[in-house]
Structure 1
Amino acid sequence: MTRPDNGRFAVPESRADRRDPAADGAADRPAPVARPAPARVDPLAGARCVLLDFDGPLCRFFAGPPGGPASLAPGFADELRTLLDELPDLRARLAPLPDPHEVYRRTTAALRHGGQPEHPVVAAMRKRLDELELAAAGATAVPTPGAAGLLARLADRGVLLGVASNNSEPAIRVFLERARLARWFEDGPVVGRPDDAGLMKPDPTVLQGALAYWPVRPDACVLVGDSPADAAAAAAAGVAFCGYHREPEKRRLLRELPGAPPAVAALAELAPAGRVAVT
């Protein structure tokens, strides 16, 4: 573009002469202010007591040994099914299940439905599951990363701590001692699998047994768990639920449960440093 000079000839327009209409008034506008990211809400804030499921939040209970299978659970389930040799139809129905707890639970339910709640296989399966869990607790189970730190932070807040689990209580206590976590539960309940498989979570019996240990209202407590059964038990007991799982898809499923509970990928996300007085 050129400009006339006294009408005689044209000279090139300089860059300084060019104006950007959109820039007019830009100097008068305030510079954008960076907004801080919203603070993450602590799902355990204000809780007087926190109950933890055992397998998941506190340990990888069925972790396999080095050089072995990634999980011992399918092998444990297979071993429980060997007790069903005299009940081949039931054994065939339970063949696809990789979870020993589900094999035990569904065996008990099927025999109860068939009018045989005291069938010898129920007691035999309970005993064998206890033995398998005790062995895993003493040898192969590994602590969940961040579990010790979370317990320490909660204890520093004055929060009451307990365990509410479908695993056997003796196995839980053996692992807590082995992993040096037992001291956090010296003044709290450790409630494990009931003798009646029908009272395992999602039934609230395990949570109610733990809550009876303290003179606190259920709505002052939070359960940290990793499964829909944990969430259902918490809801039935009137306890808030906070999900934990390492796998994104499992966290998504937990967040889509009724009430849209929170679900975290790491225990380090829970109970940041600070103290909440318990009265």
Structure 2
Amino acid sequence: MRDLIGAAKCVLFDFDGPVCHLFRDRPTPAIAARLREAVLTDEFAGDAGNWLPETDDPLEILRAAFERPELVERGLARDIERALTKEEVQAAPGAFPTAYADTLVRTLSATGRQLAITTNNSQQAVERYLQTRMTGELFADRIHGRSSEGPLRLKPDPYCLLKALESTGTSPQDALMIGDAARDLEAARAAGVAFVGYARDEHKAEQLRAAGAEHTVDSLRDVVLAVDPGAHV
């Protein structure tokens, strides 16, 4: 892992997990239930109970809505996306920072690395959160999240990673992604970017290892020390 980080000229962060716990005060099962209800009560959604996934992950409800052409054509899928964006933006000021995340991004920036966010969350939510941590300037125009315009392209689609490589002027072999989910690893592989998994608990670690992650950490402190062995953390 130290070699991967040492070689990286640019580090791409997933947002919810490696940077913060976005929904600490707004449980995701309740958000998923609200999105599900919005679909189920729409008269043109058909027998939504047969195709909506049984999940507490709001992003999976959103993904399912965009897979129904009739919902995309009518604008309901986009309405669901806007509703989720509103939830994320409202949650951002109360998001709980991941331990050592602020130290890590500042250390990476101080050692000359470029930084970018590559996330399935909305760009507006990321920007609002970073403002609260006073780290937004470290990412500048390199926040690549879900947009309210155009098609929905969520990881494991590597689209946001490819946009980050473009915005930073970095080749894939010079970049590293830090993510906490199998879909992050899959996107990194598709983009040709090295990957370090952040696993806040053993369950997450098992999921990442099962997906093929070779390098995982349970604390970003390990990454800080890999960047700067003399750091007092």
Q: Same fold (TM over 0.5)?
A: yes
What is the CA distance between 1:119 and its match in structure 2? 2.5
Q: Does 1:96 align with 2:71?
A: no
Corresponding residue of 2:12: 51
The reply on whether 1:191 has 2:191 as its aligned counterpart is no
Native 8 Å contact 1:44 1:271 kept in 2: no
Match of 2:29 among 59, 70, 74: 74
Does structure 2 conserve the Cα–Cα contact (< 8 Å) formed by 1:156 and 1:274?
no
Give the alignment of 1:102-121 within 5 angstroms: 102-109=60-67, 111-112=68-69, 117-121=72-76
Aligned to 1:212: 166
Separation in 1, partners of 2:53, 2:33: 8
Q: Cα offset for 1:156?
A: 2.2
Bigger radius of gyration among the two: 1
**Aligned to 1:54, what secondary structure does the other structure show?**
coil
Does 217-226 or 81-90 show the bigger shift? 81-90
| Equivalent in the alignment of 2:186 | 232
Partner of residue 88, structure 2? 133
Equivalent position SS for 2:11:
strand
CA RMSD in angstroms comes to 2.0
C-alpha change, 1:132 and 1:197, in structure 2 (3 Å) is farther
**Matched position secondary structure for 2:167:** coil
**If each structure's helix is expressed as a fraction of its own residues, which one has the higher value?**
2
Higher RCO by CA contacts (8 Å cutoff, separation 6 or greater):
2
> 2:110 is matched with which residue?
156
How far off its partner does 1:185 sit? 1.4
- How does 1:7-46 map onto structure 2 within 5 Å? 41=2, 43-46=4-7
CA distance, structure 1, for counterparts of residue 49 and residue 76 of structure 2: 12
Query: Structure 2 CA distance, aligned partners of 1:119 and 1:254?
Result: 37
- Give the TM-score normalised by the residue count of structure 1: 0.75
- Amino acid in structure 2 at the alignment position of 1:224: I
Structure 1: gaps spanning 5 or more residues: 1-39, 65-70
CA distance in 2 between partners of 1:89 and 1:245 (Å) = 37
In structure 2, what residue type is equivalent to 1:83? A
Q: Provide the identity percentage.
A: 32
1:201 matched to 2:155: yes
Check conservation: 2:104, 2:224, Cα contact below 8 A. yes
For 1:170 and 1:185, how far apart are their aligned partners in 2?
13
After superposition, what is the alpha-carbon deviation per residue over 1:93-133, rounded to whole angstroms, capped at 9, x for unaligned? 42621011000001111x13xx5531321121111111111
Structure 2, unmatched stretches of 5+, are none
* Residues 163 and 191, structure 1, Cα contact 8 Å, conserved in 2: yes
- Take 1:93 and 1:228, find their aligned partners in 2: how far apart are those partners? 23
Contact 2:71 2:77 in 1 (8 A): no
CA drift at 1:159: 0.7
Cα deviation, 1:49-93, whole Å, max 9, x if unaligned, reads: 0000000000001112xxxxxx52111111111211123621454
Q: Distance in 2 between matches of 1:256 and 1:220?
A: 25
Residue-by-residue CA offset, 1:136-155 (whole Å, 9 max, x unaligned)? 113x2111111011112211
Moved over 6 A (4+): none
Aligned length: 224
Aligned partners of 1:125, 1:91: CA distance in 2, in Å? Answer: 16
